[in-house]
Amino acid sequence: MRPLTAMARHRALPRDPAPSKWKYRYQRMMLTPGFRSLMRVGVPLALITIIAVSWYSHDENRALAIAKWEGMKRDVQQRPEFMVGALDVTGADDALTRNVLAQLPVAFPVSSFDLDLEQMRKTVEALDAVRSARVRVGTAGVLNVDITPRTSVAVWRDGGVLRLLDEEGTFAGFVETRADRLDLPLIAGQGAQAHIAEALALFRDAKPIGSRLRGLVRMGERRWDVVLDRDQRILLPGENPVAALDRVIVLHQARDMLDRDVAVVDMRNGNRPTLRMNKEAADAFRRVSYNEADE
């Protein structure tokens, strides 16, 4: 009988069903959820990422991808439901509406994706006559600009310019002539806009002489002069000007003081109010005094 070779002896041995050491370790790791997910998901994704990065690293491939993406984005943005074809301004008068349209030169039709609504709102609110604005794309492809205008409460003569002011003293626009807004009181003088609340209180208090009132002038940025017709002035103190004006009005109602030949009523010193006559009255008084002295 021929002796068995080593290979024959190995084949003759019974097969061991136990796995090898590395196979055993692999099977144990596959029982771990994290490792199993890594092998089933992580490794394929890593391979796909490597392939994609390698493909995108070439200039021609990168340009092709960008062009494809831009084309897809443009196709979506240019769909009819995203197009804006008109501009509607609400809450403003005709003059303010024209100013708003001039500040928003939008060429219609335009995609809503190409509109910077926040920047448009800031542009509209930069107008003097606008307190606040809301800009949104409404229904039927209309760009809505809802304006909350400033309410003008006074005209401020700033040198040779007539400015409109709201109740906070903020500029609300311009007027060409005083006759354009005779419904609003007139103030003048440097720094007058910073004391608009006090000026409005004086105008309200001066209603009994309102038909003669021409305006208020801020003097030295510290007090007011009340200007009446016939070149009369009431000089008010820096402190409690409303109370001083009340005293003048009471004196006028009691003795018709402002209907007399008085040029200036000086209330700057509350303890010693002073009346100053106009030139004609002062000259007549001097003549009378001289005649009495001669006699």
Q: State the Cα–Cα distance between residues 209 and 227, nearest whole angstrom.
A: 11
Q: State the Cα–Cα distance between residues 181 and 179, nearest whole angstrom.
A: 5
Tokens (6 digits) for 186:
């007139």
Which distant-in-sequence residues (6+ apart) come within 8 Å of 78 by Cβ? 111
CATH annotation of 154-291: 3.40.50.11690
Instruction: Name the residue ranges covered by the structural domains of the chain.
Output: 80-149, 154-291
CATH annotation of 80-149: 3.10.20.310
The residue among 283, 218, 284, 212 whose CA lies nearest residue 248 is 212
Look up tokens 């609300």; give the residue: 172
According to DSSP, residue 42 is labeled: I
Query: What's the longest Cα–Cα distance across the chain?
Result: 183
Per-residue pLDDT of the chain (295 residues; tens, 9 = 90+): 455 565 555 555 566 566 677 777 777 787 888 888 888 888 888 889 998 888 888 888 888 888 888 778 777 777 877 788 889 999 998 888 999 999 988 888 888 888 899 999 999 999 988 999 999 998 888 999 999 999 999 999 998 899 999 999 999 888 999 999 999 999 999 999 999 999 999 999 999 999 999 999 999 889 999 999 988 999 999 999 999 999 999 999 998 889 888 899 999 998 888 888 877 655 554 554 455 445 5
Look up tokens 């002035």; give the residue: 233
